[in-house]
Chain A
Amino acid sequence: MGKVIDMQELDKFFDDEMRIMIGGFLDCGTAETVLAYVNQLDLHSLTIIVNDAGYNYKSKGKFLATADINNIITSHIGTNPDVGAKMNNGEIEIELIPQGTLVEQIRAHGAGLGGILTPTGIGTKAEEGKQIIEVEGEKHILATPIGADIAIIKAWKADKSGNLIYRHSAKNFNPIMAMAADTVIAEAENIVENGELDNNNIMTSNIFVDYLVKSKPEN
């Protein structure tokens, strides 16, 4: 079965109340084409896992500001006033997690670990409600794994089998999220024939990628 699909085929993978991971740091390395399409599906009560809330007027941030979302698990929402307003009026519940902890929680899920222990956040609000474990005399927070139903990630180049290459600083959360969701949808700027990518340069193996969608240059 080919992994390259048309945008319209995405409908069947999405449902209300799903947990969806979105790759990217601000707009860099974010699957804009897929998000624009998903945003016009009539989805409700989503939970989103994302590094930051982006900018309210475009791409990921526009999706977060306009889709029907109950919860966002993230490290930063300061760049998106609309999401901030929805948090303040109770429309969206925001769980703020230190960025390095968030990425490790996602990695832990994909790596089959029961969580990770981090000194980050000890003595701050980040430790509230968390189990504290002392290791060699130093306090650590137990951060449990975070997985999702779907991950929407962005690559620069893909071959048709689903091998991915990211470009420059557009890597960020993408390869980590690729391992942490039941269904992984990768948007790629270029999709080439199998064999055209050097095996040495593959950054995410095709075994993690379920479907490939080609980016549209402009949305």
Chain B
Amino acid sequence: MSQTKTKIAQRISKEINDGDVVNLGIGIPTIVCDFIPSDIEVHIHSENGLVGLDKEAAEGFEDKDIINASGKYATIKNTGSFFDSAMSFNIIRGGHLDMTVLGALQVDSKGNIANWMIPGKLVPGMGGAMDLTVGAKKVICAITHQTKKGTSKIKQECNLPLTAAGEVDLIVSELAVMEVSSEGLILKEIAKEVDVNEVIEKTEAELKISENLKQF
């Protein structure tokens, strides 16, 4: 696991409160689980039909009928429950999820998020991502700040097809924590390793610097 991803996941874990119902997407969001303090109780929802998702199954203890949304063999807490896909998305759309954490290809100053297709290149489909972004009370985007080529993924405006319009509340990268507001992105925290100018330089979207800028 790269340090970049760990840093993002660790910071996001601090947003989770005792008793929250949380859905974690594929990739960096999955790692968030590892940093949730043991003294709080969190109900992890998995779109394929369970609440109370626990760790991946240990080798030799896989059960073909318990998987997570990535298709990996998983386990369930003894207080968890299983249900069908209609119920699973009732939970998602119906406002019963406190938070969802999703990865993205791009995210922008208006809280738009794009993570389900690159026209002409990659069309995996949206799966449950459109429902999660619309339904969850708080949407956190976990994203590496730039592409491998050094282009900012945090845009003034997304140019890839959207997963949802205006639904993202918080963007967490390895360099910054940015809140989506009606006036654009507010830079709330910067990583200890960088200064503000570097973050601004590496971000396509315009950033308003919080008066109370912190480090993480």
Contacts and interface: CB of A to CB of B under 8 A. Distances in A.
Contact of B67 (A75, A100, A169): A169
Interface residues of B, number: 41
B96 interface: no
B162 A99 contact: no
A162 B69 CA distance: 29
A77 interface: yes
Contacts of B92: 100
Interface string B20-57: 00000000000000000000000000111110000000
B50 A169 contact: yes
B162 A124 contact: yes
A84 B165 contact: no
A120 B135 contact: yes
B169 to A, nearest CB: 16
Given A99-B85, A101-B131, A124-B163, A28 B123 contact: no
B166 A25 contact: no
A72 B85 CA distance: 19
Contacts of B67: 25-28, 169
B131 A120 contact: yes
A98 interface: yes
B129 to A, nearest CB: 8
Interface stretch (B11-19, B58-66, B137-145, B201-209): B58-66
Interface residues of A, number: 45
Given A122-B165, A123-B164, A25 B48 contact: yes
A170 B124 contact: no
Contact of A104 (B63, B89, B126, B130): B89
A118 to B, nearest CB: 7
Interface in B94-150: 112, 122-131, 134-135
Interface of A: 25-29, 51-52, 74-79, 84, 87, 94, 96, 98-101, 103-104, 107, 118-126, 156, 166-176
Given A26-B67, A84-B124, 8 more contacts: A28-B65, A52-B125, A75-B126, A98-B126, A107-B86, A120-B134, A169-B48, A172-B85
